[in-house]
Structure 1
Amino acid sequence: MFSLPIRVYWEDTDAGGVVYHAQYVAFLERARTEWMRAHGHGQERLRREHDLVFAVRAMVVDFLRPARLDDLLEVSAGLLQCRRASAVFGQEIRRGGERLLTAQVRVAALEAGSFRPRPIPEPLYGQLKALESGADTGIGA
């Protein structure tokens, strides 16, 4: 599974030094973006070459433990399922070996110009399909 290190800064926290819940969504987004880039599909390239963007359609997040100021987090992303016009990612945030958060994120494929749903173009679909892990994220566990 792909993993992105992220340091928690003051701007990520509330007045008590605990990561604000909405900031976790930004951490998850960065990891999915870097996962795509690591597989040769940066967002600008997808837009330019395929007229394609991905937008979050649904998200299930299980907050298990808080992250705090100065923590070094590992934010992971893996493709669980790729369909013709959507994909589902499994994600986790860990601090050391401790799991802080699990998430399952469904993204929809959209035409970049109109933001209308569209199928993922070949051969991109085939490349993403080959990267499916099908692994369980542990949501609800």
Structure 2
Amino acid sequence: MSAVFRFPIRVYYEDTDASGVAYHAGYLRWFERARTEWLRALGLQQDGLHRQHGVVFTVAHLDIAYRRPARLDQLLEVHTRVAAMRRASLMFEQTLVDGDAETLLARAMVKVGCVDAVQFRPIALPQALFDAVARWTPADQ
């Protein structure tokens, strides 16, 4: 099991429907932001990997289970961990929890593929990313 990266989120008016509940697609934005900030915490950036290695990342598979609603002005936290790492993909487990009570609101498994930026064909993760993820992941995984 890898280390957990925690990213705070606040539910804003723009995130909600007329009832003050977060719209379901907004969760995907929050999960994306958390993965981007996780990468930044590793000392890497998506645009840098694109420029230096000619790769981009694409969501190849997404499975999400909504458990409880997120509500207007609620402080939440996205927990992100690498569930599996392959040569050309990463599988993330992400959970959205209430920032105070740690009540589970949603859980997602997200497979992100590394692809060549020109042809959009699978390509090995850049070594810098592979090494950074390996350092982030405890040896028992």
1:51-66 correspondence to structure 2 within 5 Å: 51-66=54-69
Q: Calculate the aligned-residue CA RMSD, in Å.
A: 1.8
**Which runs of 4 or more aligned residues in structure 1 lie more than 4 Å from their structure 2 counterparts after TM superposition?**
none
Decide which of 106, 114, 120 is 2:119's aligned counterpart.
Answer: 114
Higher relative CO (Cα under 8 Å, sequence separation at least 6) belongs to 2
Q: Deviations along 1:7-61, whole A, 9 cap, x unmatched?
A: 1111101110000001100000000010011001111111111111111000111
Q: Once the 2 structures are TM-superposed, how far is the Cα of residue 130 of structure 1 from its aligned partner?
A: 3.7
Count residues with an aligned counterpart: 135
CA distance in 1 between counterparts of 2:128 and 2:16 reads: 41
Q: TM-score, normalised by structure 2?
A: 0.88
Gapped runs of 5+ residues in structure 1? 135-141
Decide which of 77, 80, 83 is 1:77's aligned counterpart.
Answer: 80
Partner residue in 2 for 1:139: none
Contact 1:81/1:129, CA 8 A, preserved across alignment: no
Q: Once the 2 structures are TM-superposed, how far is the Cα of residue 120 of structure 1 from its aligned partner?
A: 1.2
1:1-141 correspondence to structure 2 within 5 Å: 1-95=4-98, 96=100, 97-132=102-137
Letter in 2 for 1:59: L
Partner residue in 2 for 1:137: none
Q: Once the 2 structures are TM-superposed, how far is the Cα of residue 133 of structure 1 from its aligned partner?
A: 5.9
Gapped runs of 5+ residues in structure 2? none
Contact 2:57/2:112, CA 8 A, preserved across alignment: yes
